[in-house]
Structure 1
């Protein structure tokens, strides 16, 4: 309060009416009033006027102490004497507050200075012979800064939603809930002790979670036991979670189904750009009855009536306005360590929205997702706690403050650290490691991460696909014109499509220029290289060592540049290395804890090396066969591996990449059945290339027929 009030009211000017003896000036006035306060508290009469006097005396005592220390006009002896007298006033204030601990709350930096307190402050200064200038009127802040207003947008479909439902039902219970007022802990600095309680280590930071009554399922998908327990907690009424499971344990599904259990719609999901499309895909799989929409750019293409709104950090500033007015009942922040710097624009946007939700909705669902262990850089988590409503910038809030009060301890007590840690964890920290839930997980799995390449490289890829499709369509139409059989086929002649695709596939090897299936996949690999490397960097920060596989040198170069920019050390394993250089890089990755990533050539490092020091790998480019992909995964999933292995396959959404991924998986199923004894023919890579061309041509012909019909 005192420092804040001093800044608010400005420095006072002093005009002395003559030489100041010891009984002149502000100190005797303060001494008189503090005795009045002391006497009133001793008699048990801590009425509002007494509390006002206590607050104002403390404020003026601090101001006078600062003035005396900085005043070069007074002698050293005089300064020592006046500071000694001020110490006497401070001692009386302290002993008085010890009798009535509620007075300590008046000394907080954010304590409100009432109009009566301002008036009393002026009266005491005037009694001391100090002229106090009139307080300047602070100019009203504009409703919105012009630059910020220029960035703000309201998508047309959102306007339609607002017009369809212009009156959001008020939730008065949200207003009725007040933050717990500190009693015994008033005046204590609590944020730092809370942070230190996690630095001390201890048991795994995970709240008690209930056993689910029944395993939740969505279609053919089924939650693993550890996932179902968090969803059960949301169903029982828990509403704030710091979900810090290791990567690969399904945080996305847990968040989506927790929102469904809490009926937290509309739900806002704020994510890094690299996983934006993946969230929309997962929402369609796990909560298909709640439509999701993805915000791109100014949001011109979004569905304003969707239940789930997915937006990336980079464009959130344009959409804060309408999102704050949408009546959100839930908010998920993925890779929540992105907001660790509370002064950054992205953090301010997230915190502003979460505060808006808490003031308008009782018990909103707020979830922060991050794989970063809690024992590292714990101060970074203060912004996350603030997003969840556990603390503000200076103190714990609500249930956390109540839990700390109920411990009966203060930061000076030996047991406070453990009790404080437990109080924070029970607000909703959930942390599980792969090794802890290994029984829930398959020994090896491939998880697709769809990414959107919407930059210049993405536009180049789509243009190249269109050129290749047009060439195939031209060949198909010429083949129709010159066909000798005279047969007429309604719609698309699928046999002819396969013939055209087969001729294209056969002629590819002799082509020296132009677009073909191989150049297309190389273009796509280069376009998504930065996104794949960024995802690998996130994994390395949160889960430890990562193996990064790519087919092309250009993709490896781009990835290594990204890791260098992120400050991550890497080892490079390529086909053009000597045996000694190759082994040196392998040893660096497996033995040096500071080498976070192994950047590997899919062909050169796909066989013959052991990289089981990692349990996460990123497949930045697709193989043509499942066997090649499996060989790469087996560099990590092999004897000596103690954790389940996850291969994160980066897929460029809305490109040939997605179709080829489906084809590879389908062919893998055929191969598995053949090896199990079924009468199936095992196919090779040329089949996938052929099927990719067939799909591209049929899609183009289908679009043409649709246009002709309309």
Structure 2
């Protein structure tokens, strides 16, 4: 026992005599101990589920101070490398606790966004923690006037778990945006007092030459799997490799814009890359990325993003769910952004347009010369104004004026909008920023020609008679309204013949009120009835084509028309694939593959609104348009699912038109609008019309014809 006691005593003496680690005084002082205590308090509160506003405030302040201290230590050249490494290790430990805590409640991540509000309470707490650490708070710390309570996270905003994992690996430190150059201050120039957005748009309206930038000759590009690029595709990739970073890629549909965008991103090293697309094509974008840039990983966001790869190089998201992901997407550190079917953002008041513009603006502020690409084969739907949102996405203009680069170019012309020469010079200035527009006839001579052939059909059954009666009823209502307005006008104006201005006003009244009407025929219901009446005739013609010439693509606008056609095909033993908007991406792709690869599948029955973009159906050379579009762009997009690279035969689109009905007037309107994009981008001599609502134009035509018949 004595020996045991002696051994214990010796052991105690040995421990006491052992050299202790020398603790630097600063280890127990400064900001780190303060942050360590605070982060443990936050961690404990979140574990208990007690996430009060004060806890959220403390979380935000600790994270901000961690970032500031890390930046200070990194730049501190007065300390030894060993000391800096130790401080950074301790900071990483605090950051990891923050990240683990945020993984329990991902809404905390919203407090770290660049545009997150820092409340008065947060400012006060930050000063308090800095004082406790013995540091002097900055005298110029902004005094904010927002409410002391933390703002609630935006509705439906989420952060996928895999993105949290990416941040954990970082660990929880924001991407470094310090290399992004601040905007250069611009003094008042000769054009500073001029309104320039209108003249810039007008310069395209009155153009007589093709709107396409001169691109460099293509260089050698190594592609996987024996893939080849056409010359026009390689030229754009070469431009990106040479340093160009904004493109409005407005090639005609079918000229391979997806491949150009993916390879341009590779040439510009614009990763991570954000791609915003219509829902129907987002899976196809991931497949194309695997084909053209297989060394880069691509992920597709579905729903809340539970299945995405947070570490992917290419993130593909559709417009419809962008609102719930815009928060974390804006903070991920993208160096490039592609917007496919960019005409979808033409309405700047829409939520999807605002989301796209917000993300673009954040990327431009944070990244060094990011790659921004707007892809659309139909950049103008109804009006030159459709350009504005796309130009703003690309950073060429803002809400009220040209961007710095465009303004500099305009100043160099030495002209003002008062000079006639300003307009062609201004147009060239915009084009040089990156408008690229190539026509199939110019760059893809090996793609056969296409034509639209109208097939008038007589609706001579009971449904046809009912439709004509309904159209007469609608025309009578318009005439009565026109005559009433004419009789009660008090302007004293006298118009010889038909007052076409009044005709348009009457059509506008009808167009505004028809959505409110509970009963009675309107142009929408009338056109829908015509579509149903034509369904059997259109399906019969498609069946004949399939029997005689091979595969056919059948487009319809309404579900009941698709159902009626599919029923006829089934009765005749014709195998078909159905491509609709209510299908899952997997089901849709399975049906597309069946049409493309199975020789027994003769017809693809497609929704005009869902399948009119982003699909490659060039295995067919005949298209049946069972129902008419409301725009030429929509019709063109549908036809170009077939008329594109890979097509080996001439393409014919058979447009089924109900004779002696409003269908014929709508077809004429579609054809009359076809010159809009041609005029603005291709230098065509066709006249550009003003913004036009096709429904209004159809009603005006119906009223004009009725008045003419009664004259």
TM-score bin, normalised by smaller chain: 0.3 to 0.5
TM-score under structure 1 length normalisation: 0.47
- Which one has more relative contact order, counting CA pairs under 8 Å at least 6 apart? 2
